[in-house]
A and B are shown apart, each in its own frame.
Chain A
């Protein structure tokens, strides 16, 4: 039968965000979606690994917030959350720690009792700290048996430098040196009123917002003023590392660029999507479809607070790694030489528009996008701006970007296995 007509969305609407300020000055962003009987509440602290003074302190602090508080033991916290079917989720990256709670609207009051303890009064009991460290040390040891994990770690080192806060990785033995005092110190320095934003979504009746403000307002003001120092990057362009018993090699290739606030970020996202951002991308066509080298290959723009880069990642049979590297180089070269055909470009733009719609479908996704925008200094009007920016990107823009940013001599290549 005949192919149906299609419609491309030109606008993306999201429910309005209400910006409030807690009594202590911490911003609270509220996205009211009354049709969902749930509440989701996130606290984002500028407390990622770049802010730590000991290896693994930032992730351990975030992951152990719920392991005991002034009023509750770890067991009681888990118990109370589980009992009402609520859950929480911790995410940590180099810059930020994200602590997110979800509950049914009808159980928010009971959940808030726990939220207050977890956010404001964690105690990091010594016994729990040592259980956590033993467990994480073992997990990391296992992870590092994988070519993929090692490639990811060495790629960060190659891009930023072994000692750079964005590049560094630590020996798993460092877990043995963590202690309760170190975590408490990190918590006191970084989990403070002015290093926090709060984002909530779902059915936000007044009582819920009042309670969120009450908890947020109790965050301490910080005493420390020091800014995070970002040293210069120290890039190594090529690293080939052996890996015992590897059947596959893990490849990471990329280029240091800029963070999301840069004007070329969105068009570079379009370019990286053309290259490896979807199932039919050029790299997928080449490495998977034509050559059967791999199960998957991807490229994406990665955003940090003070940097950003393009990364290509894949795993291929060890025997074809050289060929795979050549094919990746060929595809990059092609972007520098020929404009992307209009048809391929519209495909990519439609994919990206669809992706935005999917992420923004439902109260949780909207909250995630809102958080990302705020951390970059934008508001949610930026969603529509991004959509337009994507739609306006032309083949010539992409050619210029590829020529400007993807010279072979600027690329970083890491192969493990």
Chain B
């Protein structure tokens, strides 16, 4: 259970405070409601490029990292398809430094030609290192392109191609900043041994003076219902074939999200879960196997993946996934199995509340998805779900016409 209070500044900045009585550290998280789904299809990768640019300093503070580090702090950031998140942990006595820096870069960023040019190179190098120079590195891109026809989830946060980054103009980049990096598009969350009222005062002190330029409402094209099965087979120079089957499912606030999450735990949450026990150990078809949900804010996906053992055929491996699906659809789920998944969820929730960083980050996240109170209700929601619900979910979601299958075939080695 995470206690918190929430307050909105006049300029629209949402502030959430959690008091942690044990830590000597403060965690300051700032989340901007901008991710790859907000990008122009011709300029993908910009949200992520921007995460990098946010560290390039401002006119007032030319170097972002040094003051953080001088204050014994550590900072980092990440971007995904839905949002961009920046966080700092530092000794609680130095919390002002974190707030000062975050308020400063919300509006005063230095977007010089030079800064942009350097960061573009770094991001393109990241593209190569993480996506092109890795075995299986292009799977995510291939899948998104097949699973989505319309929604911007069809590209990964790194973007569709390094060219999009390379060709983005300085004007486009500045316009992106103006549009998305505004107080009313941000959530500040803090976890520290500081009274909640005091956190709001500090937020007012550091952010209250920023002027807001409200962002025009965005319409994100939603994905139409898939009508028929999709399939893609590629051959790559990798040691083992992979099979991936993806299904569309509900959005983050739908009941299906929890059902999907719970189903993925039944299948792949730990070494006693179904897929590991049955497909790796019993049938010995795969070297590794997984089932997970993407967890996106808009309608997301449910994904099965498996890396074949050399002795297994593609056909039997693929059939094995569908057998597991049928088993769920027929409702062969014991109360014991469900109870286990629920206990595990509860324990992981508690383990996740042990440090200030996780708490600050989660508070920002739940506010972003539009239901802050959910942060303390999820365990209860899981507790309320039964085997009939899982079977019903499986029948609705795991259908051939809702599926996209990728066969990522290892070139035969001669």
**What residue of chain A has the Cβ atom nearest to residue B270's Cβ?**
A82
Tell me if A82 and B73 are in contact (CB < 8 A): no
Is B139 part of the binding interface, using a Cβ–Cβ cutoff of 8 Å? no
A contact residues around B270 at 8 Å (CB)? 78, 81-82, 87
Contact of A83 among B134, B239, B343, B348 (CB under 8 A): B343
Dominant secondary structure at the A interface:
mixed
Tell me if A295 and B129 are in contact (CB < 8 A): yes
A contact residues around B135 at 8 Å (CB)? 142, 145-146
Tell me if B273 and A82 are in contact (CB < 8 A): yes
Is A394 part of the binding interface, using a Cβ–Cβ cutoff of 8 Å? no
Bound: A294/B130 CA distance, A: 12
B contact residues around A74 at 8 Å (CB)? 271, 281
Tell me if A248 and B70 are in contact (CB < 8 A): no
Tell me if B347 and A104 are in contact (CB < 8 A): yes
Tell me if B91 and A75 are in contact (CB < 8 A): no
Tell me if A3 and B72 are in contact (CB < 8 A): no
Contact of A36 among B121, B310, B336, B354 (CB under 8 A): B354
Tell me if B347 and A4 are in contact (CB < 8 A): no
List residues 204-263 of chain B with CB under 8 A from any CB of chain A: 206, 209, 237-240
Min CB–CB distance B107 → chain A (angstroms): 12
Is B126 part of the binding interface, using a Cβ–Cβ cutoff of 8 Å? yes
Bound: A289/B118 CA distance, A: 7
Contact of A6 among B94, B130, B273 (CB under 8 A): B94
Is A230 part of the binding interface, using a Cβ–Cβ cutoff of 8 Å? no
Tell me if A4 and B128 are in contact (CB < 8 A): no
Is B389 part of the binding interface, using a Cβ–Cβ cutoff of 8 Å? no
A contact residues around B89 at 8 Å (CB)? 358
Bound: A75/B271 CA distance, A: 8
Is B385 part of the binding interface, using a Cβ–Cβ cutoff of 8 Å? no
Bound: A171/B90 CA distance, A: 45
Bound: A146/B280 CA distance, A: 25
**What residue of chain A has the Cβ atom nearest to residue B311's Cβ?**
A134
List residues 45-81 of chain B with CB under 8 A from any CB of chain A: 61, 63, 65-67, 69-74
Is B339 part of the binding interface, using a Cβ–Cβ cutoff of 8 Å? yes
Is A351 part of the binding interface, using a Cβ–Cβ cutoff of 8 Å? yes
A contact residues around B197 at 8 Å (CB)? none
Bound: A245/B132 CA distance, A: 11
Is B22 part of the binding interface, using a Cβ–Cβ cutoff of 8 Å? yes
B contact residues around A229 at 8 Å (CB)? none
Tell me if A141 and B239 are in contact (CB < 8 A): yes
Is B350 part of the binding interface, using a Cβ–Cβ cutoff of 8 Å? yes
Bound: A147/B269 CA distance, A: 31
Contact of A292 among B97, B121, B238, B287 (CB under 8 A): B121
Is B96 part of the binding interface, using a Cβ–Cβ cutoff of 8 Å? yes
Is A388 part of the binding interface, using a Cβ–Cβ cutoff of 8 Å? no
Interface of B toward A, CB cutoff 8 Å: 21-25, 61, 63, 65-67, 69-74, 89-91, 93-94, 96-97, 100, 103-104, 118, 121-122, 125-126, 128-130, 132-135, 206, 209, 237-240, 269-273, 277, 280-281, 284, 287-288, 307, 309-310, 336, 339-340, 343-348, 350-351, 354-356
Having A104-B347, A142-B135, one finds 5 other A-B pairs with CB under 8 Å, namely A9-B72, A246-B133, A279-B69, A295-B129, A354-B72
> Can you list 30 contacts pairing A with B, beta carbon distance less than 8 Å?
A1-B100, A3-B100, A6-B70, A6-B72, A6-B94, A7-B94, A9-B72, A74-B271, A78-B271, A81-B270, A82-B343, A85-B344, A107-B347, A135-B288, A138-B287, A138-B309, A142-B240, A145-B135, A147-B133, A246-B133, A247-B128, A247-B132, A317-B125, A317-B128, A350-B71, A350-B72, A354-B71, A354-B72, A357-B25, A361-B355
